[in-house]
Structure formats: C-alpha cells, structure tokens
Homo-oligomer: A and B are copies of this chain.
Amino acid sequence: MINPILSPVQTSSRDDAVLNALVDFVASEGLKPGDRLPTERLLAEYLKVSRTTVREALTRWQELGLVERRQGSGTYLRSAVTRNMLHMPLTLPSGNDFNSLMHTLEIRRGLEAEAAVLCAERASDDDIAFIEKKLVVMEEAFHARAGMSSEEDWDFHLAIFQTSGNPLFEQIIAAMYEMFHRFWEHPLGVRDFGHASFPYHRTLFNCIAARDPVGARAEALKLIATVEDDLRRGAANLRKQSKT
C-alpha cells in the first residue's frame, strides 16, 4: 500500500476524462435519472475525442447501471452520478442455485442485524412513528392478501435502514434483496413463502421503539432465520420434484 499523498492518482486513460466531464455536465445541467444525455456524436465533438472513446466510456457506465442506452432513441441517466464514485461490482457465480441464494441471506443476516442495532440506538420519535406506519401498512397488506407482500415488506425494512443513518446498508442489502427475488418470487412452490417471518416484524419494531439494540439484533436474526428456513424447504421441494 502506498501513501496516496505520494502517488496522486494519475488520471491516465481518456475514458475517465470523458466520464469526469460527463459528471460535470450532468451537474451543470441539473440532469436527473430518466433524463437524456447528449448523443455520442455530440459528446465526441464537444470533448474532442473520437466517438469510439465516448462509446467505451458510456459502455462502462452502462455496465455499472448508471446509464441506459436505447438504440434509435438515446442514452438516458439511470441514477445520480458524482465524481469520485466508488464502484463495487459484486459477482456471484451461477446466481440461481441454492448456495448462491443462501449467500445473499448470510450477508443480509450480518447487515440487517447491525442496521437494527444502529436503528434502535439512533431512532428519533419521528423515525419510530414513520417505521410503525410502514409496519402497519405491511400488516394490513398481509391480512388483506393472506400472505407476505414483497413491496410493503421491503418498505418496512427500508425505513429501518434509512433510520440507521448509514446509506450503505440500504444499497448493499437492496442488492442482496434483488439478487434473491430475481429468481424467487414464488420460490420453488413454497406457497406461503415469508409467512413465518411475519410476526418478527412487529417484535423487531417493538425493540426499536423501546431503544433496545440487543433485542433488535436478536429479532432481526430470527426474522432472517425464517427466510433461510423457507429457502431450505424450497430446496427440499426441488429435490423431491426432480426425483419424480
């Protein structure tokens, strides 16, 4: 490891320069997600680089999900961009098998417990009221549909992450959550998936409301444990089916 002061990162490649310029442009124009970026040809002309270089830079942003390209239409911003962003490309080999899904839950186990602790430590009265509102919505949806609903469930957890005061929780867990649910909306024929986790949402909230970090961690762990259990049952179902 080298002291960064002694080795100021040389900008080097042209791509980075293009992307930095693009960040500045987005900032100066106040562009938001959904807005259209200048065409590749315009950028090439304006930045005095070839269109190839512009395309290579945009390809990188596209791969990071920062930008979306539609042939014949244009290039559109998909998320906020800033200078000095830290990119963390997570790659899971064969993301749709049992082990990979369990891996995402192991990450969630560690992070959700920690987020619950911080939330319980830092929540203001307003925060708690907000979380409870999300909880009630989730519980109503549960009773209305006689089952867990991803949407409202996620909103509840989201409220906890945001109250933790650390934006990293939301982003990382959201990635895990998406990985998980990309293949498992009704995982492997387990109809009541998530059912078992229901009661722990309120017990978790109670601990947070009581500013009980230790209890909050315990309840969060129980909640994840039920999901892991559902996943195992799903895997067992799958094995049974494949035997038939």
A44 at the interface (CB under 8 A from B): no
Partner of A168, one of B55, B56, B64, B92: B92
Residue from B79, B107, B166 within 8 A of A106 (CB atoms): B166
Residues of the B chain whose Cβ atoms lie less than 8 Å from the Cβ of A103: 166-168
Residue contact B183 to A4, C-beta cutoff 8 Å: yes
B89 & A85 in contact (Cβ 8 Å cutoff): no
Question: Nearest residue in B to A184 (C-beta to C-beta)?
Answer: B1
Size band of the interface chain A makes with B: 35 or more
Chain A, 215-244, contact with B by CB distance < 8 Å: what is the 0/1 string? 000000000000000000000000000000
A114 at the interface (CB under 8 A from B): yes
Instruction: State how many angstroms separate the Cβ of A242 from the closest Cβ of chain B.
Output: 13
Contact, CB under 8 Å: A95 / B84: yes
CB of A129 closer than 8 Å to a CB of B: no
Copies of the chain in the assembly: 2
Tell me if A96 counts as interface (CB < 8 A to partner B). yes
Q: Is A171 an interface residue (CB 8 A)?
A: yes
The residue in chain B whose Cβ has the minimal distance to the Cβ of A169 is B107
**Contact across chains for B86 and A168 when beta carbons are under 8 A apart:** no
Task: Report yes or no: B85 in contact with A93, Cβ–Cβ below 8 A.
Answer: yes
List A residues 124-173 near B (Cβ within 8 Å).
150-151, 164, 166-169, 171-172
Q: A106-B166, A167-B103 are in contact. Are A86 and B82 (CB under 8 A)?
A: no
Known: A3-B185, A172-B107. A90 touches B89 (CB 8 A): yes
A155 to B: closest C-beta gap in Å: 12
Which residue of A62, A65, A92, A100 has the most chain B CB atoms within 10 A of its CB atom?
Answer: A92
Report whether B182 and A1 are in contact in the complex, using a CB–CB cutoff of 8 Å.
yes
Q: Is the CB of B107 within 8 A of A91?
A: no
Whether the pair B100, A92 counts as a contact (CB closer than 8 A) is no
Indicate which residue in B59, B164, B172 contacts A59 across the interface (CB closer than 8 Å).
Answer: B59
Q: With the chains together, A66 CA to B178 CA distance in Å?
A: 21
B-facing residues in A23-61 (Cβ within 8 Å): 52, 55-56, 59-60
Enumerate 8 A-B pairs (CB-CB under 8 Å) in ascending A order. Answer: A60-B62, A63-B64, A85-B93, A88-B89, A88-B172, A89-B89, A104-B168, A172-B172
